[in-house]
Structure 1
């Protein structure tokens, strides 16, 4: 104890140095530090003036081009050496199977102005709303009164309707193949053919149905302008039922004039031409797909099949309805320009084209009426479309029976059949003949 007191007194008089920090001592307050010495250059480097002077003193080095060393002489791939580039081989004659073809700018149909094309594979992002804006069309929910009258009329119904239609579904989904579950791309066309065949049985009651023809693999082309945007509908589309006589107008003149007050819906900031294919090599063509003098020259009903077996390749119902509207409009516009010329005008006799789309179970029904070919501005008379969507013909097709405790609880068959869906299918087929 006395030794510690003597050391403390000696430290107070400055005779002993303070013990090292961390060895039986407490840290004192931090000592004040003075300013850092000023340096002519900061840590970021010399000032710009010094860099400029150093650049002037630095000798200029000449750029020497180096030859690219390839493995062309080795005649095989060598890692680390560049890939050789050889001049194109001249065959000495024109081979159409191995010809790169001319550039777009050298083609005779090249145009500086781009054209937006709607074809069979186009999937519209905004669906029916986008198709409405492109075709200047007003949407009406449900089927028109003329078609509803045929649906509700008992005289226009097929005898033994439920038995015949369920037999068609049985044949398409179960009897037509030896597989346990047929693919969609197989049973969709079979079901559509059977349903159309059932509609043809009404020819005995309505002989004017014999004046129709079924067309496949024909090509449509229709060109129009919409607010300085050049548009086309072209290429293959669905199966078309042609008629010798056109479908009478569905809407009256008062309903057509009332469309002038309708405001088309926009979807800004999305472009109305999104998902359409832009091309610069095209021809402004309007063609119905049939030669002059063809007796069945009036389009009646378009049938669209969504039969892709892989789900990502299928069209959603909204996209399918948009494609139905675009191609129904294209067929009507091509027919209108063939009858009345290319001058934009309000048609004295509107053109009606129907459309039916299905994936083998879910059905979409549409009636389109072309009232005007003046499509540039949003003002004036609009076209009309009636859409009745999402109707199941049946709920489920059971391929393998359900068995519980060795008892069949759900046998193989078609369940949830809805005859009203086929009644609408039949009504659209009979429209114009009843």
Structure 2
């Protein structure tokens, strides 16, 4: 159709153009924010009038502060920070950084894994490995019977997360090891994080229906929780800064697992236990637990950890093996338990923990699940003698073998209902 004046008058391009013309003529007005700040004793000053600004500009010439709030001539908030040195968006990692520390720390985050896998994780956290789940979990699983209706609901949850979601984005590039330079056609589909999020939410919804109101009233759910804790070990400083996909909290903490377990810690000589943990000088030695200490129902119960092959990689670009996959689950559970211990006991947690902290952990990439239970008995990681932490875990379980469209029809093959039984047993455990 020819673009006439009448047609163009109703065109979106014309509408947006006129809208921007009108908006560009608006005069900024005083919002009254400065007057309100003066009432409470907060003065707003231009950054060019501050000696700190001149010192920064003369020293490195890469910072620009728009404005700073001052209380009693002390900087309390930096509202905006721009880098004007080569387009950088962060401070330099040198002694000019305000968070630079003389003593470096070894960090474990969301994207790195341990080189030696499980043996390195056990030595790092001073833990004893028990290759089976606790007795209470196994007994709870024996009492869970999956009906035909419930099994159909779980299958529908799997297909809804992997096939029926309306999210269609450009997926990461596929690589052929035999032809590394060849660009394969890009695929469109459901992003991995979206698949895991939908799957976990739907499975937990079925668990809530199965568990009943009494148990559900004692549970709280939170998405994308961040945990951070700093732990000393020998002459090293370990920083754990991790994120979990979902955390379930309970009104009362999980009971300590009965029984005594002891074994020799792995020997990695000549490799050090901090290998593949990046060392950095810029850090804040703080503890972050996403719930207040006095809040009711903030005890950690179960965490769900997302494993994405595109984000979690080895420093040498080799594929993640089973031991590294499982050790990542252990360290995530340890980080949550250690952050909770630091919140409850402060620095006294490094001397004595009066009541062990138990955290259940489930790691999945959308198909493979790894179940583990971590019990924190001590944070004195430098002494190989004395009490040790416990790590109970099971071998990896696949929820299904194949879930895709075949001949235009959704197909689910090799469904394993035991995975849902594990999740129900974890959720119902008290």
Does residue 331 in structure 1 map to residue 336 in structure 2? yes
Aligned partners of 1:185 and 1:309 also within 8 Å: no
Comparing 278-287 with 353-362, which one deviates more in the overlay? 278-287
Q: Can you list the C-alpha shifts for 1:63-117, whole angstroms capped at 9, x where unaligned? A: xxxxxxxxxxxxxxxxxxxxxxxx9997997563234546631344332211111
How far apart, in 2, do the equivalents of 1:90 and 1:187 lie? 45
Query: Unmatched 5+ residue regions in structure 2?
Result: 1-57, 67-80, 86-90, 169-187
Aligned partners of 1:221 and 1:287 also within 8 Å: yes
Aligned equivalent of 1:266 = 267
Aligned equivalent of 1:431 = 429
Under a length normalisation based on structure 1, what TM-score does the superposition of the two structures give?
0.69
Q: CA deviation at 1:217?
A: 3.0
Of 178, 193, 200, the residue aligned with 2:208 is 200
Comparing 108-117 with 354-363, which one deviates more in the overlay? 108-117
Q: CA deviation at 1:349?
A: 1.7
Aligned equivalent of 2:418 = 420
Aligned partners of 1:188 and 1:307 also within 8 Å: no
Of 255, 260, 267, the residue aligned with 1:248 is 255
Aligned partners of 1:111 and 1:282 also within 8 Å: yes
Aligned partners of 1:184 and 1:309 also within 8 Å: no
Under a length normalisation based on structure 2, what TM-score does the superposition of the two structures give?
0.69
Aligned equivalent of 2:76 = none
How far apart, in 2, do the equivalents of 1:236 and 1:397 lie? 28
Matches within 5 A, 1:8-407: 94=65, 96-100=81-85, 101=91, 104-154=94-144, 160-177=149-166, 182-204=190-212, 206-252=213-259, 255=260, 258-259=261-262, 262-308=263-309, 316-343=321-348, 344-401=350-407
Q: Can you list the C-alpha shifts for 1:2-51, whole angstroms capped at 9, x where unaligned? A: xxxxxxxxxxxxxxxxxxxxxxxxxxxxxxxxxxxxxxxxxxxxxxxxxx
Q: 1:378 to 1:93 in 2, by over 3 A?
A: closer
Comparing 210-219 with 129-138, which one deviates more in the overlay? 210-219
Query: Unmatched 5+ residue regions in structure 1?
Result: 1-86, 403-410
Aligned partners of 2:356 and 2:375 also within 8 Å: yes
CA RMSD of aligned residues (A): 2.9
Q: CA deviation at 1:172?
A: 1.7
The number of residues matched between the two structures is: 330
How far apart, in 2, do the equivalents of 1:347 and 1:103 lie? 36
Aligned partners of 2:167 and 2:191 also within 8 Å: no
Q: 1:103 to 1:296 in 2, by over 3 A?
A: same
Aligned partners of 1:346 and 1:381 also within 8 Å: no
SS in 1 for 2:224: coil
Instruction: Indicate the structure (1 or 2) with the bigger Cα radius of gyration.
Output: 1
Q: 1:207 to 1:102 in 2, by over 3 A?
A: same
Comparing 263-272 with 358-367, which one deviates more in the overlay? 263-272
Aligned partners of 1:158 and 1:202 also within 8 Å: no
How far apart, in 1, do the equivalents of 2:93 and 2:148 lie? 61
Q: CA deviation at 1:428?
A: 0.9
How far apart, in 1, do the equivalents of 2:269 and 2:381 lie? 20
Q: 1:186 to 1:221 in 2, by over 3 A?
A: closer
How far apart, in 2, do the equivalents of 1:387 and 1:250 lie? 13
Aligned partners of 2:367 and 2:399 also within 8 Å: yes
SS in 2 for 1:97: strand
Q: 1:88 to 1:342 in 2, by over 3 A?
A: closer
How far apart, in 1, do the equivalents of 2:320 and 2:363 lie? 11
